Amino acid sequence: MFQQFTIQAPLSAIDSELQQKIDNKTKPLGALGELEKIAFQLGKIQQTVMPDVSKPKMIVFAADHGVVAQGISLFPQEVTPQMVMNFLMGGAAVSVFCDQHNVPLRVVDVGVNAALDDHPLLGARKVAMASKDFSQEAAMTADEAARAIQAGVDEADLAIDDGVNLLMFGEMGIGNTCVSSCMMTALIGTSASDSAGRGTGLDVAGVSHKAKVIEQSLKRAEQETDQSMSDWSAQTLAEQVGGFEILAMAGAMLQSAQRGTAFVVDGFICSVALLFAQKIASNVREYAIFAHQSNEKAHKLLLEHLNAEPILSLDLRLGEGSGAILAYPLIKSACVFLTTMASFESAGVSDSTS
């Protein structure tokens, strides 16, 4: 059994002071749109009218998936460790964007199907050499699920103990859009055809095959557990159809929220991790800032389910935290306007009530 989390919703004591400060900036009411909502959320989370995200960190969790054996990805499994090395060497999209915005990057191996050499940016928290093929058997044991979540908890603690005040999460793992779609179907009851998407570029036939694999996998799991998926606990769902990196992201989100630290949700897979985390502790949602709506077709449905308004919509479907780091400058701007922009009084500007 994985650990329990006690997450309090951010206190409302500062709400009126925050809103007054936002409204008294030299602008019409609401004129900075979503930036005002982000500033308010960050101020409420940090319980200050001077929120600060000047010490961010990007953590990318990586793992492989046994279900790749069913032909649900265009890319072979060996791409996962190859891309991990690309992250570490600074050549991936998330790497160059993190470098552009001076955001430290850490890559965490929770289940890559290869032995990875030591590297200063690499966190070695391998649970197993990939999850099992969940179309044929449970994806992982109870102990493996607990260790995957704990890997995320430990990474969040490591960052926050170092003074990080905004966490961003990404993932890497060939086949993990299939795993995420399967988890989404189990969590909110969407059909497999609605949750399955193109992933790394599948054609119509490939997406249809992926949906059938998801249906087969969930049917197998329901028979094995003698339970409808709608009745599964978070523990059962993780064991039957989870992915190590998705559980690790969920663990990191839960611990971030438990410690009162805001975090940025990347795209579809990261959103599924939040959906799973919310099943464990519902208040985790209060600490999440949504970076973007991806091109993966199920992401729009999932964002609507989460009642989430993402910052960007750039037709991305890369994963690896790329959308989260692209949203970071806007999150930073939300803090800057609240902390630095003049008020009507300080600027000597008449407001609409003058």
Give the CA count within 13 Å in the CB-facing half-sphere of 284. Answer: 26
Q: Which two tokens stand for residue 191?
A: 């059909």
Rounded Cα distance between 196 and 95, Å, is 28
Residues 6+ apart with CB under 8 A from 274: 250, 253, 265, 284, 285, 288, 306
Rounded Cα distance between 54 and 288, Å, is 17
Of the candidates 255, 308, 254, 303, the residue with the CA atom closest to the CA atom of residue 276: 254
Q: Please tell me which residue in 36, 155, 239, 320 is annotated as part of the active site.
A: 320
What are the DSSP calls for 177-202, one per residue?
HHHHHHHHHHHH---HHHH---TTT-
Of the candidates 229, 258, 107, the residue with the CA atom closest to the CA atom of residue 169: 107
DSSP H/E element including 60 = strand 56-63
Q: Is 320 a catalytic residue?
A: yes
The stretches of 89-188 forming alpha helices (DSSP H) are: 93-100, 142-161, 176-188
**CB-CB contact of 273 with 253 (8 Å):** yes
**CB-CB contact of 193 with 293 (8 Å):** no
Distance of alpha carbon 242 from the chain centroid? 15
Of the candidates 277, 265, 260, the residue with the CA atom closest to the CA atom of residue 8: 260
In the chain, count of helices (H) and strands (E)?
Answer: 14, 6
**CB-CB contact of 311 with 291 (8 Å):** yes
Rounded Cα distance between 81 and 88, Å, is 11
3-state secondary structure of 235: helix
Query: How many C-beta neighbours within 10 Å does residue 156 have?
Result: 27
Residues with a catalytic annotation lie at 320
